Structure 1
Amino acid sequence: MPSDAALDFIGTFADFITASPTSYHAVAAMAEQLRGAGFTQLDEKQAWQEVRGGCFVIRDGALMAWMVPDTFGPECGFRIVGSHTDSPSFKLKPNPTTHSAGWQQVGMEVYGGALNNSWLDRELGLAGRLVAIDGTVTLVRTGPIARIPQLAPHLDRSVNDNLHLDRQQHLMPFYSLDPKLDIEEYLCRVARVDISDLAHHDEFAFPTEAPAVFGPDEEFFAASRMDNLSSVHASLQAFLDVEPGDDVVVLAAFDHEEVGSNSRSGACGPFLEDVLVRIAAGLGVEGADLRALMARSSCISADAGHAVHPNYVHLHDPNNHPQLNAGPLLKINANQRYATDGLGGALWKRACEVADVPTQPFVSNNAVPCGSTIGSLTATRLGITTVDVGIPLLSMHSARELCGVEDPWFLKRALEAYWAGA
């Protein structure tokens, strides 16, 4: 049976997932909590007059927040936790409204490596941002309005033996029987935006089924977007609760990890480096001193990993079988798909020991290609010690992922210990 603290924490996580159907909504939810805790939002288009205390800045679907302790001195560094706000989904195309045999359908493009079959026969909403011609951004979300229907086995007797989903033909959601109902007009009506002002949109499908705790002992938690809102939420709560040590603590929540991170708000872009340089400048640290400051810094890249699958054990490393509710993963790959090395591994183990939480290694089966995270990208761009961690999931990239109730609570405590100076 999970602890009361873990169950309480999973409740706040469920609320965060529900509030965050897209990266833009996740950042808005984070910003609301940060403002409520007294943090100051800065504008990256303006010079920053003061970087001390607690501040944050938003760039599209990404957010950076930091605290400069009163004890910051010449031998200090940055302590960074990085995560990402996006998840696999389907993104609205231009001119999305289409018709087929009396159905109103919406044209969508697959975003990231979605487990496509998991999106079938689910009630879907649409959410994201509408951008007016003058650049005004309005967030919007609908209720359950769409569905990608599966074909009955009576019409294809091979469907259970050889399911093939053509991304263009078979993954088109329907949303109405009214031939006059245009999906862009509907979104503008929901958002109270004049359709004549709409210049562009960044809209995504999301599963509307509520997160749920289940199991005989309430040990399981199912929800969408846990890759990687599990790390975003845990890092945010650790950030809000921590009493920093001597180093500057930095929360970095990037967008676009699921499509390669190559964007102005992704980990390959300059956002984090820009913020770190501007913080350092505000503290009077520049030039060679800045390079030394970076060399004293570290980063925990927090992104969900894989629990051992009971029906596919042969696809996991035979000597490493990560379990649910056994602690966050230390993710290791010899080919640097993860950034973990000996120094980073030791840093993580210290944080877990101080927090009194378990941890477990994850390494891939040699015959199964390994995924990647923002960790190696951050280490390459900034040259700082980086370690990859994350809670174990089943059904990663599904529309309905699964974790253990204890693991997000364990991750939050370990990240808090790291930021506190462990």
Structure 2
Amino acid sequence: MIDFLTNALSVYHASDYIIKKLNETGGFTELKTDEAWKLEPGHGYYVCPFGTTVIAFRTGSAVASVGMPDKQDKLRIIASHTDHPGFRVKENPEVKQGSYVKLNVESYGGAILNTWLDRPLGAAGCAWVRGKDGRAAKFLVDFDGPAFVIPNVAIHMNRKINEGIELNKQIDMLPLAYAQEVHAQNDSNEKGYSFREELAYHIHRIHNVSAKPEDILSYDISIYNAEKPVYVGRDRELLMAGGIDNVSSEKACLDAITGIEDNQGIVISAFFDHEEVGSRSKNGADSTILANIIERICISLGYDRNEYLAMVMNGEFLSLDVAHANNPNHPEKYDPTSGVSLGSGVTIKCSSRQNYCTDADMTAQLLELAGNNRVKCSVNYLRSDIPGGSTIGSILSSQLPMRSADIGIPILAMHSAMETMSVSDQRNLDRLAAAFLAQH
């Protein structure tokens, strides 16, 4: 878990980490979306369209190659998302304020803003550089540790700060990137700061490729919490880190698909971008990308469209995303009879509003599966007057109608720069996701 957390610094790095693990297993082959697929039963494959979404799948060794899919040729899907709330660096981001240089950033998703103040922050993502052959070259970039800070206003300058203040995203949340050395009164060093120069430096440091700042055509860079994950609690039973939402679910999806030895039918682990901003993008869950890939899998295995639709309707789907653990200081915020706490195991998330895709049929199946595999599991509703958030579950289940459920581990301070989880809950989620894909 810590290895995944420390490598998933941006959506690009998360996808890169997933692909490396798929390749390391030796059982997965990359497919290109613009090429014809020739699939074989009993093999693993993956696609990475648009750089931040990964869809990995395995075809069972006994999967039917012609005719209507056998009733045992089940389609099973588990899905998570690769993004988390934070900030993205804008174009021409340098903002001078006296001897300071700040970065102009745009907030991404529903971050708890004040948790980002006074923390060491890093930057990571992707940059596209002008190539010698006329094609832009793409490079993963990480500023390698703390590089920025968003400073709070001292209490002496804001005596009411502990009474609560509203933070302005354009004013209060700009990271400090550089403090110029002042040699004399009102006389600062002329060296200045260039974000593109910093990018060029790190491209050379990481990839040994020389690039001038003007050769950087575009970039997609995220600001992340540079603090390392840390265990807390009397028995170190808890883990604090940035990005637990949703690395915890990504890990379970990845371990399940790479750990399966054989399966019947088709099993899929999908990792989508843009969940935190609504999923409405070409590489988000609210696109046709997964449905298209499943249909291509079926066609390559010899099924026609009628058989593909039959397999979907007979399929099963789990959406993996974190759940709200009861905050011990505010128990009034949670449902009085079905609230969950850290250490309560896997949470099956339910909502009559359909914020979650869980249906009673799948809930029963999951509880039985959990019992057979010694997985601790709880069914959770939110307070009726606090609707909570939503997941990719309802989005995907409306496009791919099949029995479905939303599950995840409970965490504290969801969308904070530093979230808290139980280590034992992660082990339970890993076991349940693996059992779900491996069942016959």
* TM band (smaller chain): over 0.9
- Which residue in the other structure is 1:56 paired with? 46
- Which residue in the other structure is 1:166 paired with? 168
Higher-Rg member (1/2): 2
2:305 maps to 1:305: no
Contact 1:247 1:421 in 2 (8 A): no
| Structure 1, unaligned runs of 5 or more | 1-12
- Which residue in the other structure is 1:351 paired with? 369
Distance, in Å, in 1 between the alignment partners of 2:399 and 2:146 is 41
Distance, in Å, in 1 between the alignment partners of 2:25 and 2:438 is 18
Return the offset for 1:78: 1.3
Q: Is the alpha carbon distance of 1:315 and 1:152 closer, same or farther for their aligned partners in structure 2, counting shifts above 3 Å?
A: same
2:67 maps to 1:67: no
Distance, in Å, in 1 between the alignment partners of 2:265 and 2:373 is 18
Post-superposition Cα deviations, 1:171-220, rounded to whole Å, max 9, x if no partner, equal: 00001124522112201210124322222111000011111112111111
- Which residue in the other structure is 1:320 paired with? 338
Amino acid at match of 1:54: G
Contact 1:378 1:386 in 2 (8 A): no
2:24 maps to 1:29: no
2:198 maps to 1:186: yes
Contact 1:108 1:172 in 2 (8 A): yes
Contact 1:244 1:421 in 2 (8 A): no
- Which residue in the other structure is 1:340 paired with? 358
2:171 maps to 1:153: no
**Helix, strand or coil at the partner of 1:160:** helix
Distance, in Å, in 2 between the alignment partners of 1:222 and 1:234 is 18
2:239 maps to 1:221: yes
Amino acid at match of 2:435: A
Amino acid at match of 2:16: A
**Helix, strand or coil at the partner of 2:163:** coil
Contact 2:249 2:408 in 1 (8 A): yes
Return the offset for 1:317: 0.7
Contact 1:364 1:370 in 2 (8 A): yes
2:417 maps to 1:417: no
Return the offset for 1:321: 2.1
Return the offset for 1:244: 3.6
Contact 1:330 1:345 in 2 (8 A): yes
Q: Is the alpha carbon distance of 1:195 and 1:45 closer, same or farther for their aligned partners in structure 2, counting shifts above 3 Å?
A: farther
2:429 maps to 1:395: no
Q: Is the alpha carbon distance of 1:312 and 1:51 closer, same or farther for their aligned partners in structure 2, counting shifts above 3 Å?
A: farther
User: 192-201 vs 141-150, which deviates more?
Assistant: 192-201
- Which residue in the other structure is 1:9 paired with? none
Post-superposition Cα deviations, 1:281-314, rounded to whole Å, max 9, x if no partner, equal: 1111122111111111111000001111111111
2:385 maps to 1:367: yes
Distance, in Å, in 1 between the alignment partners of 2:258 and 2:48 is 17
2:285 maps to 1:294: no
Contact 1:351 1:415 in 2 (8 A): no
Amino acid at match of 1:135: A
Distance, in Å, in 2 between the alignment partners of 1:266 and 1:353 is 33
Contact 2:93 2:195 in 1 (8 A): yes
Distance, in Å, in 2 between the alignment partners of 1:51 and 1:266 is 28
- Which residue in the other structure is 1:117 paired with? 114
Distance, in Å, in 2 between the alignment partners of 1:362 and 1:342 is 13
Amino acid at match of 1:93: K
Contact 2:339 2:382 in 1 (8 A): no
User: 81-90 vs 178-187, which deviates more?
Assistant: 178-187
TM, length-normalised to structure 1: 0.95
Amino acid at match of 1:111: Y
User: 129-138 vs 355-364, which deviates more?
Assistant: 129-138
Contact 2:339 2:381 in 1 (8 A): no
Post-superposition Cα deviations, 1:346-400, rounded to whole Å, max 9, x if no partner, equal: 2322331232111111211011122100000010111122210000000000000
**Helix, strand or coil at the partner of 1:127:** strand
Return the offset for 1:247: 2.2
Distance, in Å, in 2 between the alignment partners of 1:355 and 1:127 is 39
2:103 maps to 1:106: yes
User: 147-156 vs 359-368, which deviates more?
Assistant: 359-368
- Which residue in the other structure is 1:386 paired with? 404
Contact 1:84 1:254 in 2 (8 A): yes
- Which residue in the other structure is 1:254 paired with? 272
Contact 2:295 2:305 in 1 (8 A): no
2:12 maps to 1:19: no
- Which residue in the other structure is 1:6 paired with? none
Contact 1:51 1:279 in 2 (8 A): no
**Helix, strand or coil at the partner of 1:216:** coil
Post-superposition Cα deviations, 1:35-79, rounded to whole Å, max 9, x if no partner, equal: 011111111121112354011111221100011111113221311
- Which residue in the other structure is 2:142 paired with? 141
Contact 1:69 1:248 in 2 (8 A): yes
Amino acid at match of 1:99: K
Distance, in Å, in 1 between the alignment partners of 2:38 and 2:359 is 38
> What is the RMSD of the two structures over their aligned residues, measured on CA atoms?
1.2
| Structure 2, unaligned runs of 5 or more | 181-190, 205-210
Amino acid at match of 2:61: D
> What is the aligned length?
410
User: 393-402 vs 320-329, which deviates more?
Assistant: 320-329
**Helix, strand or coil at the partner of 1:107:** strand
